[in-house]
Amino acid sequence: MDFQPTEERRMLADMIGKFIQNDYPLKARLTAGTEALGYCPKAYSTMAQLGLIGALFDEEVGGFGGSGFDIATVFTELGKGLVLEPLNDTALTTGYILAQTDQLKLVDQIILGKKRVALGLIENGADYDWSAPETLAQQTGAQWQLNGQKTCVKFAHGADGLIVSAQTPSAPGISLFLIEASAAGLVEHPFQTVDGGNACEITLRNTPARLLGVEGQAYPLIDAAAARATLALCAEALGLMERIKDMTIDYMRTRKQFGSVLGKFQALQHRVAQMLLEIEQAKSAVINAANDLQAPTDERNRAISAAKYSIGRIGCAVAEEAIQLHGGIGMTWEYDLGHFAKRLVMIDHEWGDQDYHLMRFAQS
């Protein structure tokens, strides 16, 4: 047993940390988050050149990583810097689907940061369940056409392509389709997200598309892609929490009230101590999930759900507690904490919240 990261992953983490420190100021991130694309193409491209996307893929498909621990390493570091760039939404998840369906040329472009492909699975935005899309794909000759709508498709605006799920008349089960950004009948309505960023409501009307993989057989593929996306979110949340904890401790060491720094009040000490042990539990959950990413499906999904549940519960608690311990300053836009807290809470709203994963774990 060895809980030390490998030398390669330590170097990867250091490199990402240095990139954030030198080239990714929070102010620029906040500005990019409110602009049309909702992210910063230049930073995204630099990160691809540094190999951050390559680290998310197997050697077989043109990457140099791709294991659970590679994904966790990259996203924990991105979380520490509150990095907005859509590596999860338009590279990791869709790149995996494309790699598994023999679209290796496009995967190369994704790894190089030259193309982005978004993923639209959900149709009712209240729901986390992607297993029964109503979007309909029909074939005329060799050509597929899609009709339907997708909601809260993250960072779809400005992407080069879109993967969507659909049902087909001839096969039960879900199928996946690739749509070009310029395809006819594809209409997107972008909107801002509360954590800074962008998503789209999408409608498809007789939109031409290419079938990915085997018709009606996409469920296990989406499930595996979802496992990667969820692991990445959990790792990102862990990075966010580490930083939030550090900010809170720093504040407790410097803020004086009643003639003493806050950190000297026992009632507050115990609350930060509680925060620390919760975060340690979250970290263990992420390690378990990273370790089981390659495990048989049931085992993998149990570990993923255990992690997402833990992250959801602990993340919200840490975000709220850190703001409370800071007081008014934690409520301001100018102070970093609030932005970390917003992202941390919103992670519970992607790929299933804590209740969704608690139930999935219980029923597995």
Partner 1 sequence: MDLNFTEADQAFRQEVIEFLNAELPTDMSRRVHADLPVSKEDTEFWHAVLHKRGWLTYNWPKSFGGVGWSPVQQFIFEEECAAAGAPRILPFGLKMLAPVLMAFGSKEQQEHWLPRMCDGTDWWCQGYSEPGSGSDLASLKTTAVKQGDHYVINGQKTWTTLGQYANMIFCLVRTDSDCKPQAGISFILVDLATPGIEMRPIRTLDGGQEVNEVFFTDVRVPVSNLVGEENKGWTYAKYLLAHERNGIANVGISGQKLARLKRLSLTQKRGGKPLAEDPLFAARLARLEIELRNLETTNLRVLDGFSKGAGPGPESSMLKIIGSELEQNFDDLTRRALGRQAQAHTPEVFEPGYNGPQVAPQDMANQSAAYFNKRKVSIYGGSNEIQKNIITKMILGL
The residues binding partner 1 (CB under 8 A) are 122, 124-129, 132, 151-152, 189, 191-195, 199, 201, 256-258, 267-268, 316, 320, 323-324, 327-328, 330-334, 338-339, 341-342, 345-346, 348-350, 353, 355-356, 358-359
When the beta carbons of 15 and 136 are compared against partner 1, the nearer one is 136
**DSSP code, position 5:** P
When the beta carbons of 109 and 135 are compared against partner 1, the nearer one is 135
CB burial readout 273-283, b (16+ within 10 A) else e: eebeebbeebb
- Shortest spacing between CB 358 and partner 1, in angstroms: 7
d(CA 145, CA 61): 29
- Shortest spacing between CB 49 and partner 1, in angstroms: 29
- Shortest spacing between CB 322 and partner 1, in angstroms: 10
When the beta carbons of 32 and 341 are compared against partner 1, the nearer one is 341
Q: Residues near 31 by Cβ (< 8 Å), separated by ≥ 6?
A: none
- Shortest spacing between CB 79 and partner 1, in angstroms: 17
Asked if residues 182 and 15 have their Cβ atoms less than 8 Å apart, the reply is no
- Shortest spacing between CB 338 and partner 1, in angstroms: 3
When the beta carbons of 236 and 292 are compared against partner 1, the nearer one is 236
When the beta carbons of 21 and 191 are compared against partner 1, the nearer one is 191
Report the 3 state secondary structure along 50-102.
CCCCHHHCCHHHCCCCCCHHHHHHHHHHHHHCCCCCCHHHHHHHHHHHHHHCC
d(CA 30, CA 34): 7
Q: From residue 42, give the alpha-carbon distance in Å to each of 22, 27, 28.
A: 14, 15, 11
When the beta carbons of 11 and 331 are compared against partner 1, the nearer one is 331
The DSSP H or E segment spanning 328 is: none
- Shortest spacing between CB 18 and partner 1, in angstroms: 28
